[in-house]
Amino acid sequence: MSVFKFQAYDLVVCGAGPAGLMTAYTFAKMVGNSKKVLLLDKKEPWKEPIFCAEAVSTDRLSKLWPIDRSWVRGDISGIYFTSRKRYRAEFYSKNCGMILDRPKFHHSIADGCLNVGAECHFDTVVKKLSRNADGSWNLEVQPKGGEGETICAKAVVDATGPGSRLTRGIECLEGIESGDTDLEPAIFAVAEGIEHSREHIELFFGSDFPDGYGWIFPRDGVEVNIGFVLGKNVNREGTLRQRLLDFIAKDYPQAKVKAVYGGMIACGQSTRPMAMCGLFKAGDAASCMNPISRSGIVEALLCGTIVASSVNEWLDAKSESERECVERSVLDRWMKALGKSHLQLQRAKAGFNSITDEQFDRAAEKLSKLPREKQTLFRIFFTVLRTCPSLIWKMRSFIC
């Protein structure tokens, strides 16, 4: 007996991260009972550790999803930009950001999906995707503990993350965005015993983290998320895990590491199509990530809203040419929203990575001598501009 309500859907969303959840929620809320939407993931999006530092802009998030304090770990009022010699430049703005409890946040959006009529299965693996002669899609799925079966969809959203294995080898999708524009290695530990400010993020720059940066994100006043991301072409000696443990042991010898997580994260923006043949990409699968800060939560939510409205237009289109027009427009809409800004950062990334330890030390030292109330964006801008003009854009990508 099938675990699904239907055998055919207007839309099937694959992947229940922020992009997939937001796509399903927005689409279901938009169409009411007029169309059927199914959201699938191989696991419940709140059950396993989520590879993320969990920091977001309060203002940007509030425009996309109502904030509930039950899934907020704490408020952020500043960022420390720390150089290799440990000079600190501080940007302070009261409650400018927040640290999310990502599992609870995901649960909130998943509950929202159910409330607006989306059918959700968070125990189902999508094993294969194939296109039918009439343009619809077949999805071979395997529910946990059940028998494999095939469901049909008029449109599919791939929100399965970077790499997009789901759509590989499908001829009609040749050239579509694959979420691998700039995959970079990242690793972090959940640790205790590290002195930190609960209202600050601390970011470390310099040759210890080539083409990337290190970080400390507060969690609950006791635990922190400490880790780093490196450039994809960095020649790495030893394992990322050992590199992280060495960093912690050197700077925080009293720390207690409770768990370590690592993987490849999407860190680029391309201009490849985000939709073809009724298949739409969203979130990391669409490379919708800030190339410098590597932030992606709000970006994924915003992308989900764009994709959801585009899919609805595509389903309502009366001809193949109209549908193709909608598909082409998805990238344009994303570019207008954030993509153009990301492309500027992407093109300048190599220049940012060439900033030397001495340049950052010099700028951070000058700023560190100023009292907090004088470390305004205006003062940071001109201090850094005199020291290293290209550094402005690197710092700006974390603040804005």
Question: How many Å from the N-terminal Cα to the C-terminal Cα in the chain?
Answer: 51
What was the pLDDT predicted at 379? Answer: 60
Q: Which CATH class is domain 76-98+183-265+352-399?
A: alpha beta
What average pLDDT values come out for the chain (400 residues) when binned by 10 residues?
A: 94 97 99 98 81 85 97 92 90 87 95 98 96 98 92 98 88 92 91 96 92 93 94 84 96 97 87 97 93 88 99 98 98 96 82 81 81 61 56 54
Residue 242 neighbours by CB under 8 Å, 6+ apart: none
What was the pLDDT predicted at 249? Answer: 97
What was the pLDDT predicted at 282? Answer: 98
Q: What are 282's two structure tokens?
A: 């969203």
What was the pLDDT predicted at 49? Answer: 64
The residue extents of the domains of the chain are 8-49+103-181+268-350, 76-98+183-265+352-399
Hey, is 223 helix, strand or coil? coil
Sheet of 183-192: strands edge to edge? 55-57, 88-100, 72-82, 200-204, 213-218, 224-229, 183-192, 256-266
Q: Which long-range contacts (CB under 8 A, 24 or more apart) does 70-73 make?
A: 70/104, 70/108, 71/100, 71/101, 71/104, 71/105, 71/107, 71/108, 72/98, 72/99, 72/100, 72/101, 73/98, 73/99, 73/100, 73/101, 73/218, 73/219, 73/220
The domains spanning 8-49+103-181+268-350 and 76-98+183-265+352-399 adopt the same CATH topology = no
pTM for this prediction = 0.92
Pick the closest to residue 38 from 132, 113, 143 (CA basis).
113
CB 129 within 8 A of CB 166: yes
Q: Does domain 8-49+103-181+268-350 sit in CATH 3.20.20.60? A: no
- C-alpha span between 122 and 126 (Å, rounded): 11
What was the pLDDT predicted at 291? Answer: 84
What was the pLDDT predicted at 234? Answer: 84
What was the pLDDT predicted at 365? Answer: 86
